[in-house]
């Protein structure tokens, strides 16, 4: 019966089980002689093979059946005022009413002396410019979600219908679009929500802008550091925007205290462009707009600047030696490329790095002087965001980002290869803590400065995307970082969704949105205790520059002898050694992959060595587990978790600020695999043949939650919520077990989250 029940997709397993049962040659002595099998038993090798194949069968069949039980979840933003949560109490309205957000030591502070944590979403497309009635609703919804800050990711975007309405240039602005933007900003400010934007992110120049190779340079990223014409265009844009008076607030943007900070560039480093060979000159590149190399015109311009720098800083004898290396004249030495960099002597290599760092530093100081002295803005200024784990962060920080008011970073788990077709692999982060997003971000914070994240996500349809937010938020609080802004909001507030689900969308994704709300409460309330020990890496300037050519095996910390597991055990930062300081330091030993425990013991990352990783969160106000928890019992202080799903997130937090065992209103988030309707992969399970459409479909989490230590509770009512967090009519009562209560999770409860109400 077992064999006959196998599907056609499991013929290999069927064959192997049949062979084990029927092929006596594999069973030495086990089945020989009447009744001897009972005495001698099946040989250990055969027994292990048999159970391995049976286990594989059930796992394969189970997942196959699970995918057949996916159910749709709808998100109707017309009902957003009825959500069971309202976190607007974390906001002080209007934003900036008492002055600017400031840094003090390693954190953000409001003028009243209280901590400020930036928590919100990146905005793109239709959320820049929208009808005024929609702007009012969106701002109110954002306040209810507890967003303290939003980031206008690409205000200078090139798409039709944006600010640059004239197809011939980016110098003329659409008055109607600017008015819509002003009104939305005024609504955000009214509700206590700060905003930020980048001076250059997605601008693509046009024929009338007077920019050489405007149609070849994409976003022109490296050119901003050295081309005066492009710098002039950036300054023109900045002046025009910052001196514009918002008619709905009565304030010019340069004097707007609700403008939390200004970011000069978006993921733009001249050092990085050189490191990856994008400064040598290429007029026919087909790379994406963000990563276009310099054209030959700009490569030559940079080479002229480089040789002028050499003439000023390097002896003629050295220049002649270096010229010989590249078979070039002493006055026209090219910058090295990845293909020939190994030929450079140490002093030649270091000279190139010094030059590039000086270029980056000069640009920051030029823009800072313009913004502070000419424009007169008092808002915080930063350079850009660290985003590449595979390269050392030190030179770019020392040259550019370190001059800002704080350090900022971007990072993602599993970035798809966007294109036709799009390719994305699915890998659970819980099984790879050492290469997870936590070490990626933990490598960047600099001692003495606040640290924030302004872009992050685990893109859909990565199968395990739902595990990301709870893990990142828990460890962000453990490291005591000052902000997370999620990329991106997507198409939320549209009453109906059609077409392809966005790979990063938060507002139209029932799993991400439930995560966003519960983790927002956790983050703003600071539920996780900060690390008790801070491990600071001291880096000499020479080592910082040398680290650019170290092996990728040194990633992400680029500090030899520093274990990646430290980021899950303690807080981590780095600092630059003082001149002449002898750097000798000892770091904590690596934790075993099977058990990485935070020094507060509120966070545990376990079982990654078995490819069954689980992250548990055990704090007074928030408890839960993320990862491969199916079939086991996860014991926490106030709840026990027993679910049938192979991989799931189960997270409970107090809504009334009381510890879980005494709380009367709680939010429970449960989710597992999910996909869009019609999502289709190729045979490799990575190539996306069809992204599918709305609605998204979830695999309900089934099992039970044991609610312990409830302190004389008389009744526990559980209500599944809709996709946006409003009550359904499917309430049920938990089952009393004298001192404990059992919350059954059934497949008919088609929800990603629940409101729990305790009557005492």
pLDDT at 581: 87
pLDDT category at 62 given cuts 50, 70, 90 is: very low
pLDDT at 622: 98
C-alpha span between 487 and 470 (Å, rounded): 15
25-29, 137-141, 499-503, 711-715: least confidently modelled range: 25-29
CB 178 within 8 A of CB 123: no
pLDDT at 495: 66
Largest CA distance in the chain: 99
Over 60: is that where the pLDDT of 453 sits? yes
- Candidates 3.40.50.300, 3.40.640.10, 3.20.20.80, 1.10.150.120; correct CATH number of 99-292+361-412? 3.20.20.80
427: tokens are 């890998």
State percent of the chain over pLDDT 70: 91
Mean pLDDT of all residues in 476-504:
89
Over 50: is that where the pLDDT of 21 sits? no
pLDDT at 478: 99
C-alpha span between 743 and 746 (Å, rounded): 10
100: tokens are 């600017």
The structural domains of the chain, with segments of one domain joined by +, span: 8-68, 99-292+361-412
Backbone angles phi, psi at 335, to 5 degrees: -70, 145
CB 195 within 8 A of CB 150: yes
Provide the mean pLDDT of the chain: 91
Over 90: is that where the pLDDT of 420 sits? no
**Residue range 209-236, pLDDT digits in tens:** 999 999 999 999 999 999 999 999 999 9
**Residue range 720-740, pLDDT digits in tens:** 999 999 999 999 999 998 889
In order, the DSSP letters of 520-532 are: HHHHHHT-SPPPS
C-alpha span between 214 and 208 (Å, rounded): 9
pLDDT at 491: 86
Over 60: is that where the pLDDT of 629 sits? yes
Q: In this structure, how many other beta carbons lie within 10 angstroms of the beta carbon of residue 414?
A: 19
pLDDT category at 69 given cuts 50, 70, 90 is: confident
- Edge to edge, the sheet with strand 693-698 lists 71-73, 693-698, 674-677
């Amino acid at each position: 019966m077992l064999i006959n029940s196998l599907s056609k997709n499991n013929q290999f397993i069927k064959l192997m089980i049949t062979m084990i049962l029927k092929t006596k040659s594999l069973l030495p002595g086990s089945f020989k002689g009447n009744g001897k099998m009972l005495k001698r038993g099946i040989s250990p090798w055969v027994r292990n093979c048999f159970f391995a194949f049976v286990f594989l069968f059930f796992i394969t069949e189970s997942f196959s059946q699970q995918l057949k039980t996916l159910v749709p979840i709808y998100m109707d933003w017309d009902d957003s005022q009825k959500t069971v949560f309202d976190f607007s109490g974390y906001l002080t309205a209007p934003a900036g009413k008492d002055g600017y957000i400031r840094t003090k030591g390693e954190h953000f502070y409001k003028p009243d002396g209280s901590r400020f944590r930036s928590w919100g979403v990146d905005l793109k497309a239709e959320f820049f410019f929208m009808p005024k009635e929609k702007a009012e609703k969106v701002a109110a919804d954002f306040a209810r979600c507890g967003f303290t800050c939003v980031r206008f990711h690409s205000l200078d975007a090139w798409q039709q219908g944006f600010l640059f309405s004239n197809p011939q240039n980016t110098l003329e602005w659409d008055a109607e679009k600017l008015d819509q933007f002003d009104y939305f900003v005024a609504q955000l400010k009214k509700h206590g929500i700060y905003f930020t934007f980048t001076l250059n992110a997605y601008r693509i120049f046009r024929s009338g802008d007077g920019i050489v190779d405007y149609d070849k340079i994409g976003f022109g990223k490296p050119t901003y550091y050295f081309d005066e014409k492009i710098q002039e265009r950036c300054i023109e844009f900045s002046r025009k925007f910052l001196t514009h008076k918002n008619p709905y607030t009565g304030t010019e943007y340069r004097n707007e205290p609700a403008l939390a900070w200004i970011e000069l560039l978006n993921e733009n480093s001249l050092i990085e462009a050189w490191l990856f060979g994008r400064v040598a000159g290429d007029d026919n590149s087909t790379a994406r707009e963000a990563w276009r190399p310099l054209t030959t015109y700009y490569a030559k311009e940079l080479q002229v600047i480089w040789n002028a720098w050499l003439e000023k800083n390097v002896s003629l004898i050295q220049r002649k030696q270096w010229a010989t290396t590249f078979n070039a004249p002493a006055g026209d030495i090219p910058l090295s490329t990845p293909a020939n960099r190994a030929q450079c002597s140490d002093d030649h290599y270091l000279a190139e790095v010094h030059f590039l760092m000086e270029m980056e530093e000069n640009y920051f100081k030029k823009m800072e002087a313009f913004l502070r002295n000419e424009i007169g803005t008092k808002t915080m200024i930063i350079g850009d965001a660290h985003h590449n784990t595979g390269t050392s962060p030190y030179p770019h920080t020392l040259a550019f980002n370190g001059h800002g008011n704080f350090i900022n970073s971007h990072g993602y788990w599993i970035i798809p290869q966007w294109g036709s077709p799009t390719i994305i692999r699915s890998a659970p982060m819980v099984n790879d803590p050492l290469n997870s997003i936590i070490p990626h971000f933990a490598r960047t914070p600099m001692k003495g400065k606040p640290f924030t994240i302004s872009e992050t996500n685990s893109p859909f349809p990565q199968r395990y995307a739902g595990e990301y937010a709870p893990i990142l938020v828990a460890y962000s609080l453990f490291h005591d970082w000052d902000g997370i802004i999620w990329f991106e909001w997507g198409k939320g507030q549209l009453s109906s969704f059609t077409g392809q689900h966005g790979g990063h969308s938060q507002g139209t994704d029932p799993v991400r949105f439930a995560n966003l709300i519960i983790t927002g409460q956790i983050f703003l309330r600071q539920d996780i205790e900060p690390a008790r020990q801070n491990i600071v890496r001291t880096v000499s300037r020479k080592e910082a520059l040398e680290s650019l050519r170290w092996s990728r095996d040194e990633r992400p910390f680029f500090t030899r002898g520093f274990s990646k597991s430290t980021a899950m055990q303690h807080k981590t930062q780095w600092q630059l050694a003082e001149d002449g300081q002898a750097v000798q330091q000892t770091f904590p030993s690596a934790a075993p992959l099977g058990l990485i425990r935070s020094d507060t013991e509120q966070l545990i990352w376990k079982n990654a060595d078995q490819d069954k990783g689980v992250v548990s969160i055990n704090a007074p106000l928030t408890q839960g587990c993320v990862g491969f928890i199916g079939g086991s019992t996860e014991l926490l202080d106030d709840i026990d978790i027993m679910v049938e799903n192979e991989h799931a997130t189960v997270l409970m937090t107090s809504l009334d600020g009381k510890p879980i065992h005494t709380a009367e209103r709680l939010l429970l988030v449960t989710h597992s695999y999910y996909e869009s309707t019609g999502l289709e992969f190729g045979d490799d399970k990575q190539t996306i043949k069809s992204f599918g459409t709305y609605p998204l479909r979830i695999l309900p989490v089934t099992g039970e939650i044991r609610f312990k230590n409830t302190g004389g509770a008389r009744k526990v009512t559980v209500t599944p919520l809709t996709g946006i967090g409003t009550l359904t009519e499917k309430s049920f009562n938990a089952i009393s077990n004298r001192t404990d209560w059992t919350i059954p999770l059934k497949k008919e409860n088609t929800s990603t989250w629940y409101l729990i109400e305790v009557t005492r």
